[in-house]
Chains A and B, each alone.
Chain A
Amino acid sequence: MALSENNMIIMVIMIAVLILLFAFLFGRTTKKIVPIYMAGVNTGDDLTFINSMEGKTEVSLRNWYMEGYFGEFKMNVIGVITTGIVIVVAIGMVAGAMLGGM
């Protein structure tokens, strides 16, 4: 098979570690858990803080989409042109062989 014996053993170890990891994750700790400091004083529920205007701001996350580097339009144009060339050349070669043989 494609994966040799060594790789299979590695995979079995990975699965074992994953299962053991979750076994160790549960349980209580005796350490003191303190509130998080965000961009301001925590209001108590670890999710909102007091901002510089004395109002409450919720924590939010945003993602970086890198439209300039990986934009859909650019990728599609590059893809269509390159694969289009590959397909046209390949089928052209085959069509040439077909018609040349006639």
Chain B
Amino acid sequence: MSTIFFLIGFPLIVAIVLLLLKADVARDIIVKISAAVIAAASIYLVVQHFNSGGQYFDVPKAATIGYVMMAIEVVLAIIIIVVGVMKKQYLAPIFALIQTPLLIWFEMGTGHSIEVGYNVYVDRLSMIMVLIIGIIGSLICVYAIGYMKDFQKHHKSAPDRRPYFFFLMFVFLSAMFGLVMSNNLVWMYFFWEITSLCSFFLIGYNGLFHKKENEDKVATRNAFRALVMNLAGGLGFVIGIITLGTTYGTLELNTMLTIGTMGYSVVIPAIFLAFAGITKAAQMPFNSWLLGAMVAPTPTSALLHSSTMVKAGVFLIIKLAPVLGNNVAGIMVALVGGITFLLASFAAISQSNAKKVLAYSTVANLGLIVACGGIGSAEAVWAGIMLIIFHAVTKSLLFLCVGTAEHNIGSRDIEDMDGLFNRMPRLASFMLIGIAGMFLAPFGMLISKWATMVAFVDSGNVILVVIICFGSAATAFYWTKWMGKLSAIMAGREDIQKNVHREETVVHMILSVLTVIVCLGFPSSLRLWSSPICPIPTEQWKPWHCLRTT
């Protein structure tokens, strides 16, 4: 359990240190060392629990921690209200005013008498998420060192608020670790709201605390849109907690799943928690916040809006999958996911702004994962988990490549990326590996889409089968277009690669290698992400079991 608290607490300490440091060199060293430590700790956690398959922990002084969380939530609500009124955006303060008092009323009342057995846990899915957050999240923070240096150069009139940027990134990592390892739904809600706020401040990086003449109004508007939609999801989360607590007298996720699979109906809390997952994962009708979030600096887009924060939303839905399925909640989730996948894939075809293509592609793939969760069968969950892993690695690589390209060729548009092999051969190769990883055989995404298709067919849901066929065909359109642009050799371009920071190249290289390794290594590592409902007991599992036909 100490590893868990280390993973939650260490990034928090690093965040505070980084907030106070102004020197570039010191910041570089601290970020790189912390990234290595966080990655090592994540791998250590997985190694610790690999054989046991997971464990539930009773946390000492849980009540005190609960009160501290409540106090922080009140402070955060006040911050939202103040910033909202300052910027004359009133919807966010209204949501904060409804949500936080509601939760506190519940916690002080009924919630006070509910005994929570296990507050913190680790299981297979959490281990995978910990690896994603710890390895990919840390890599993105290292990338951000080089990227933010260029960002400052391009935005000379703005004050240097990089300490604040890195503070938010590391607080976010800490909150994500807490989210994926909380069994107590109130604790999970606390971390959930922190990630929403980090996203809000990061999207509004160029607009929220600037003077009027320097303020990027688009950034402020989009930041508030993201905050409002995520707060709406948070309200759903709170209603889910309250209904679960009052009907069944429990606040624990594992208890809820046990009750649900035993035959009692937990549809009511499940549908509200799934609604929270849907807003966080930017499914339609809430996808506009993710599209608007593309104004944020690219490390934010890579970390929050493609590999980690939105994965928290789908993580919750996949965790709820055993109780979704053939009920109202399951059908709603599956349909929303499927429709989002289809329409977002179509919309990406018409986009030429690279970050928008990536954003729509992210929304589409999340839709697919959400649909897998909605179906709820063991093989659908398995396919969904595979999608999560492969998508996180590949999409973050692509976002980081686009960020580097944007700073060096001056444009985010695909139409300006022709001849990239002449101008920046290394970057173009990484980008090509990323694009190939998203839709070509035998890279992971294709295998996961294959597994998803099998799962959809086996579920008997004809609409979803049609959706995945047409949606996957649409993805070939927009990736191939981009690939073709990259692969073209144009006349008269000089090599401008030397301007790329070393941190960015190293991170690209590591992520590209990860893309390939994760694909090649997938059969042997199946045991790590075997479905939570795997019929073979952990002790007897052998590698050839991944070739079973039943």
Q: Which of chain B's residues have a CB closer than 8 A to the CB of A79?
A: 284-285, 287, 339-340, 343-344
Q: Which of chain A's residues have a CB closer than 8 A to the CB of B442?
A: 11, 14-15, 18
**What is the bound-complex CA distance between A18 and B275, given in angstroms?**
42
**What is the bound-complex CA distance between A5 and B549, given in angstroms?**
6
Interface of A is mostly: helix
Q: Is B447 an interface residue (CB 8 A)?
A: yes
Q: Which of chain B's residues have a CB closer than 8 A to the CB of A2?
A: 378-379, 382-383, 451, 454-455
Q: Is B414 an interface residue (CB 8 A)?
A: yes
**What is the bound-complex CA distance between A3 and B446, given in angstroms?**
13
Expressed in whole angstroms, the minimum distance between the Cβ of A35 and any Cβ of chain B is: 14
Q: Which of chain B's residues have a CB closer than 8 A to the CB of A89?
A: 332
Cβ of B339 and Cβ of A82 under 8 Å apart? yes
Interface pick from B128-136, B192-200, B209-217, B481-489: B481-489
Q: Is A93 an interface residue (CB 8 A)?
A: yes
With A61-B488, A75-B343: A4-B549 Cβ-Cβ less than 8 Å: yes
Q: Of A8, A14, A63, A66, which is within 8 A of B485 by CB? A: A63
Q: Is A39 an interface residue (CB 8 A)?
A: no
Cβ of A65 and Cβ of B352 under 8 Å apart? yes
Q: Is B441 an interface residue (CB 8 A)?
A: yes
Cβ of B287 and Cβ of A94 under 8 Å apart? no
Q: Is B104 an interface residue (CB 8 A)?
A: no
- Residues 1 to 26 of chain A near chain B (Cβ within 8 Å): 1-5, 7-8, 11-12, 14-15, 18
Q: Of A1, A45, A70, A83, which is within 8 A of B526 by CB? A: A1
- Residues 81 to 132 of chain B near chain A (Cβ within 8 Å): none
Q: Mark B509-546, 1 if CB is under 8 A from A, else 0.
A: 00000000000100100100010000000000000011
Q: Mark A51-81, 1 if CB is under 8 A from B, else 0.
A: 0000000111111111101111001101110
Q: Which of chain A's residues have a CB closer than 8 A to the CB of B441?
A: 14, 18
Cβ of B490 and Cβ of A78 under 8 Å apart? no
Residue of A nearest to B447 (CB): A11
Cβ of B336 and Cβ of A86 under 8 Å apart? yes
Expressed in whole angstroms, the minimum distance between the Cβ of B169 and any Cβ of chain A is: 29
**What is the bound-complex CA distance between A8 and B546, given in angstroms?**
9
Q: Is B418 an interface residue (CB 8 A)?
A: yes
- Residues 253 to 294 of chain B near chain A (Cβ within 8 Å): 267-268, 271-272, 275, 278, 283-285, 287-288
Q: Which of chain A's residues have a CB closer than 8 A to the CB of B414?
A: 63
Number of interface residues of A (CB under 8 A): 46
Q: Mark B333-356, 1 if CB is under 8 A from A, else 0.
A: 001100110011011011110001
With A2-B454, A61-B488: A67-B343 Cβ-Cβ less than 8 Å: no
**What is the bound-complex CA distance between A98 and B270, given in angstroms?**
13
**What is the bound-complex CA distance between A72 and B291, given in angstroms?**
11
**What is the bound-complex CA distance between A47 and B418, given in angstroms?**
13
Q: Which of chain A's residues have a CB closer than 8 A to the CB of B545?
A: 1
Expressed in whole angstroms, the minimum distance between the Cβ of A70 and any Cβ of chain B is: 4
Q: Is A34 an interface residue (CB 8 A)?
A: no
Cβ of B268 and Cβ of A94 under 8 Å apart? yes
Expressed in whole angstroms, the minimum distance between the Cβ of B320 and any Cβ of chain A is: 14
Cβ of B268 and Cβ of A61 under 8 Å apart? no
Q: Which of chain A's residues have a CB closer than 8 A to the CB of B488?
A: 61
Cβ of B491 and Cβ of A45 under 8 Å apart? yes
Cβ of A63 and Cβ of B352 under 8 Å apart? yes
Q: Of A1, A47, A84, which is within 8 A of B546 by CB? A: A1
| Sample of 24 A–B contacts (CB below 8 Å) | A1-B548, A2-B382, A3-B451, A5-B548, A8-B546, A11-B447, A48-B491, A59-B491, A63-B352, A63-B481, A63-B484, A65-B349, A70-B347, A72-B350, A72-B360, A78-B343, A79-B287, A79-B339, A83-B336, A87-B275, A90-B332, A91-B275, A94-B329, A98-B243
- Which 8 A-B pairs give the minimum distances between C-beta atoms? A90-B332, A47-B491, A2-B379, A79-B284, A75-B347, A80-B285, A79-B343, A14-B442
Additional A-B contact list (4), CB under 8 Å, known A3-B450, A8-B523: A47-B489, A63-B481, A76-B347, A94-B267
Interface residues of B (CB under 8 A from A): 243, 267-268, 271-272, 275, 278, 283-285, 287-288, 328-329, 331-332, 335-336, 339-340, 343-344, 346-347, 349-352, 356, 360, 378-379, 382-383, 414-415, 418, 441-442, 447, 450-451, 454-455, 474, 481, 484-485, 488-492, 520, 523, 526, 530, 545-549
